[in-house]
A and B are shown apart, each in its own frame.
With several copies, the nearest count.
Chain A
Amino acid sequence: MREITYTEAAREGLDEEMARDSSVFVVGEGIGKRGGNFNTTLGLFDKYGPQRLRDTPIAERGFIGMCTGAAMTGTRPVVDFMFFDFILDATGEMINQIAKMQYMSSGRLKMPIVLRGCVGVGGSSATHHSGNYYSFYSHVPGWRVVLPTTPRDAKGLLKSAIRSDDPVLFLEHKLLLNTRGEVPDPDVDELIPFGKASVRREGTDVTAVAFGMMVNRTLEAAETLAQDGIRVEVIDPRSVAPLDMETILESLAKTGRMVIVDEDYGPAGMGAEIAALVADRAFDELDAPVRRVNGVHTPIPYSPPLEAAVVPNRDTIIGAIRDLVAE
């Protein structure tokens, strides 16, 4: 298979869906001629024109609310929002409207809208450009939330997102954008389903469930630990809502030990949910307490040494897994 970058793969997926379905359109700041702050739409303006690649004013609440109305009336908006931090201004539209529209209308309206953009800490982006915030959208009902970590998943999940009649948050960790990986040929039309975890590495001693960029860090950690004979199974849930607990519990049944690695904050986060579910459903299979490795509970600082101190890294993860195995 050919190797392309994460951004290229997602862009290819977008392009294919726009070609397939003329009701798909994109809005965002600088996603037109410019091709997007992260090159998410590079080249598409020339292909699909200003109606379907529509630059917007700086009005996040406005254009997300607008796209809500569009999704109710026959088109399929993709909102390219750059940083999750920016769309906190649209939370009202996302929670009160988008998430509830199908319910409020008893299923007579659909909500085929995709919000896509960056999350995550890295590159001294500081506290207004480093947010994660996805756990909240798994907490409230009504959203599909995906966090692809490979180019192949990025493409396949974006295609599924655009075809879905449900609202989807498609979140791209900024440090993954330029990573490369194998992606099937354009004619393959591969759709990756929501709620299906990917076992990224098999192992028998510890189950490590990791999200977003932490999948890569955890795979590195697993590689190192393998040299000491600690075999870590690494699971990438790929979507946080729905969450594929089946795959997670199957793995746990094999290993008896679990660590959850999430750059996002710990309290009431994804790790808490998984730990609570595991404690509830697989209490007797646990050989040790479920451990969580999270980003430090603080606003994200700018300066490199401070920034590095608040995100789990390979060593933090290795340490946590060694401790867990020792218990």
Chain B
Amino acid sequence: MQTETHAGADLNLDTLLSLYRGMLSIRKIEEALVRLYQLGHIPGACHTYIGQEAIATGVCAHLRQDDVVFSTHRGHGHAVAKGVPPEEVIGELLGRMTGCSRGRGGSMHLFSPEVGLMGTTGIVGPNLLQSTGAALSFQLLRLDRVSVCFFGDGAVNNGAFHEAINMAAIWDLPVLFVCENNMYATEVPFAYATRNTDVVARAASYGVASQDVDGNDVVAVFNASAQAVDHVRGGRGPYLVECRTYRTRPHAEGMRDVGYRTQDEVSQWKQRDPIAALRTALYNDAMATEEQLSAIEERVTATVDAARETAESSPFPDPSTATSHIFSE
């Protein structure tokens, strides 16, 4: 497979630049987090989304603020794409009071219900079920809101996938399942963990509409999601989009990254970088100049730098608040 983003086909320049900006924001935030991790400033885990930015960006471009997203352990990108401010994501990983979970969660527990980020999860599976439940709420309340679940190939073999997609199907729930198939769960290849790596075909076996897409091509993801969100919001039941992609960094920062995939494989995928692909396409199709694109990059970098500084200068939470909000009262 060869990622070749065709920029001009059907999207206008504003949209394309906004996708570019969106992906770049995620990338720059992740790069900042990698550096912070390496400096020892992130006390817990850090799973980056580097290489997969096209997916969150392309999908969330179709969401309203009152639509909801349920994400995974690899959720920084989804948070950012759904509208969580960069300083709140970085602040959360630094364990600060200003983090989107007030420092309680860290990388795998990002919450920002205000913008529809209903949580990332440290456990593989629950997001599939919860997103189905949000869709049930919307159906019961007769709202045209959409619930989106991002999940990895690793979750497909978990019972939660089976139970969630089946219930979504029988009740025609407005949930969009987005499988980010990056071919590995930690170091275990998807092709080892199942005899059927075709997630679209699996969706079909539950009676759920689906399509697959090059997950490194943001335009393709954007177009597929347009259709998918339309289907779901229109009350035609659940939909699954399988995005074939790759993470180019280790499973988590600080982990050894050898023995389960070849350097060659990694470099090949690096050449299909979704951000570079869009940039090249915009440039080749003469839709944007090098200067325009660099200007965007500079602005994004500046924003992320500022966000990092804000986060770094934010206070840690007060230990006396460690037990607040266990219950509603």
Q: Judging by beta carbons under 8 Å apart, are B122 and A127 in contact? A: yes
A58 lies within 8 A of B136 (CB)? no
Give the size category of B's interface with A: 35 or more
Among the listed A69, A123, A301, which residue makes an inter-chain contact with B136, where contact means beta carbons less than 8 Å apart?
Answer: A69
How far, in Å, is B103 (CB) from chain A's closest CB? 4
Q: Does the CB pair B44–A125 fall under 8 Å? A: yes
Residues from chain A with a CB closer than 8 A to the CB of B147 are 69, 73
* Least CB separation from B324: chain A residue: A107
Any A CB within 8 A of the CB of B130: yes
B-facing mask of A86-109, CB < 8 A → 1, else 0? Answer: 100100110011000111111111
**Minimal beta-carbon separation of B53 from chain A (angstroms):** 24
Cβ-defined contact, A305 with B317, below 8 A: yes
Knowing A66-B132, A85-B123, say if A128 contacts B158 (CB, 8 Å). Answer: no
- Residues of A in contact with B (beta carbons under 8 Å apart): 23, 25, 29-30, 33-34, 37, 51-52, 54-59, 61-75, 77, 85-86, 89, 92-93, 96-97, 101-111, 123-129, 141-142, 144, 164-166, 296-299, 301-306, 308-310
Give the Cβ gap from B261 to chain A, nearest Cβ, in Å: 11
A160 vs B85: C-alpha distance when bound (angstroms): 38
Shortest 10 CB-CB distances between A and B: which pairs? A69-B133, A65-B129, A62-B163, A128-B122, A69-B130, A303-B95, A107-B325, A124-B44, A303-B103, A302-B106
Chain B residue at minimal CB-CB distance from A27? B136
A180 to B301, CA, bound (A): 45
| A305-B319 in contact given A23-B141, A73-B68, A105-B119 (Cβ < 8 Å) | yes
A310 and B322 within 8 A (CB): yes
Measured CA separation A247–B33 after assembly (Å): 50
Smallest CB–CB gap between B252 and chain A, Å? 10
With A104-B105, A296-B322 as given contacts, are A65 and B164 in contact (CB-CB < 8 Å)?
yes
Q: Is the CB of B185 within 8 A of A103?
A: no
Q: How many whole Å from B190's CB to the nearest CB in chain A?
A: 9
Contacts of B45 in A (CB 8 A): 125-126, 129
Q: Which of B162-205 contact A (CB under 8 A)?
A: 162-164, 166-167, 170-171, 185-188, 192-194
Given contacts A55-B192, A96-B123, A104-B111, 16 further A-B contacts (CB under 8 A): A29-B188, A73-B68, A93-B129, A102-B328, A108-B113, A109-B111, A124-B43, A126-B44, A126-B122, A166-B329, A299-B326, A301-B103, A305-B316, A305-B317, A306-B104, A310-B322
Asked whether any CB of chain A lies closer than 8 Å to the CB of B277, the reply is no
Q: Does B96 contact A (CB under 8 A)?
A: yes
Q: Report how far A67 CA is from B173 CA in the complex, Å.
A: 13
Interchain nearest-CB distance for B219 vs A (Å):
31
Q: How far is the CA of A127 from the CA of B107 in the complex (A)?
A: 11
Partner of A106, one of B44, B95, B325, B328: B325
Q: Tell me if A70 and B134 are in contact (CB < 8 A).
A: yes
> For B125, B147, B316, B329, which residue has the most chain A Cβ atoms within 10 angstroms?
B125
The interface residues of chain A lying within 8 Å CB-to-CB of B130 are 65-66, 68-69, 72, 97
B window 135-167: CB within 8 A of A: 135-141, 147, 154-155, 157-160, 162-164, 166-167
Contact of B321 with A by CB under 8 A: yes
Whether the Cβ atoms of A103 and B326 lie closer than 8 Å is yes
Closest Cβ neighbor of A92 among chain B residues: B123
A52 neighbours in B (Cβ, 8 Å): 140
Q: How many Å lie between the Cα of A102 and that of B319 in the bound state?
A: 18
* Beta-carbon nearest neighbor of A299 in chain B: B326
* Cα-based distance from A104 to B117 in the complex (angstroms): 13
Name which residue of chain B comes closest to A97, CB basis. Answer: B126
B293 to chain A, nearest CB (A): 37
Instruction: Contact check, B192 vs A301: say whether CB atoms are below 8 A apart.
Output: no
| Distance to closest chain A CB from B143 (angstroms) | 8
**Minimum C-beta distance from B141 to chain A (A):** 6
Complex: chain A residue closest to B258, CB-CB = A34
Question: With A66-B133, A69-B133 in contact, is A105–B126 under 8 Å at CB?
Answer: no
